[in-house]
Amino acid sequence: MKPKITWLVFISIIAFIALSGIQGYLIYNTYTLKSNAFIENTRSKILSIDYDQELDSIVDTWQEDLKNQIADYKNKRTTQKEMLDWLQQKADSLNKDYYRIYQEQLTGKKLGYSVNYKKNIVSVVIFDNTNDTIFPIGEKETFKLFGNDFPNSKANSVSVTRTFSQYDYIDQTKGDITTQHYNLEIKFKDLMYIEDKNNIVFKQMLGLLIGSLFLFLVMLGLFYYSLKSLITQKKLSTVKTDFINNITHELKTPLATLGIATKSLKNQQILNKPEALENSLAIIERQNERIQKLIDQVMTNSLTAEHLNLKLQSLEIISFLKQLSEDFRISVTDKQLSLEASFQQEPVYVAIDKFYFSTAILNVLDNAVKYSKGEVDISLSTSTDKGFFILKIKDQGIGIPKAAQHYLFDKFYRVSQGNLQSNQGLGLGLYYTQQIILAHGGVLKVESEKGKGSTFIIKIPMER
User: Average pLDDT for residues 373-384, to the nearest whole number?
Assistant: 89
Q: Which residue has the higher pLDDT, 334 or 105?
A: 105
What single letter denotes the amino acid at residue 16? F
Q: Residue 393 — left, alpha, or beta (φ > 0 → left; ψ -120 to 50 → alpha)? A: beta
Q: Is the pLDDT of residue 177 over 50?
A: yes
- Going by their DSSP bridges, the two strands 143-147 and 156-171 should be labelled as unpaired
Indicate if the pLDDT at residue 204 is higher than 60: yes
- pLDDT number for residue 290: 66
Structural domains in the chain, CATH included, are 2-204 (no CATH), 206-300 (1.10.287.130), 310-461 (3.30.565.10)
What per-residue confidence (pLDDT) applies to 85?
87
What pLDDT, on the 0 to 100 scale, is given for residue 389? Answer: 94
Percent of the chain with pLDDT over 90: 16
pLDDT greater at residue 302 or residue 396? 396
Residue-level pLDDT at 154: 83
Alpha-carbon distance 239 to 338, whole Å? 34
Higher pLDDT, 27 or 243: 27
Q: What is the pLDDT of residue 129?
A: 79
Instruction: Decide which of 84 and 237 is more confident.
Output: 84
Burial of residue 145 (CB within 10 Å: 0-12, 13-18, 19+) is: buried
Strand partners, 454: 448
Helix (H) or strand (E) holding 427: none
pLDDT digits (tens, 9 = 90+) for 387-445: 999 999 999 888 888 878 887 887 767 776 444 444 555 567 788 888 889 999 999 99
**Regarding predicted confidence, which is higher, 413 or 26?**
26
Q: How many residues in the chain?
A: 464
pLDDT band at 378 (very low <50, low <70, confident <90, very high): very high
Average of per-residue pLDDT values in the chain = 83
Model confidence at 299, in pLDDT bands (50, 70, 90)? low
- Residue 250: predicted pLDDT: 60
How confident is the model at residue 418, as a pLDDT?
47
Residues 42-58: tens digit of each pLDDT: 888 888 776 678 888 99
For residues 332-350, average pLDDT = 88
pLDDT score at 140: 63
Q: Using alpha carbons, list the distances in angstroms from residue 359 to 124, 259, 324, 334, 435.
A: 100, 32, 10, 20, 11
- Measure CA of the first residue to CA of the last residue in the chain; give whole Å: 54
pLDDT in tens, 246-287: 566 566 767 777 788 788 777 777 777 888 778 878 878 877
Report yes or no: 210 and 218 within 8 Å, Cβ to Cβ. no
Is residue 358's pLDDT more than 80?
yes
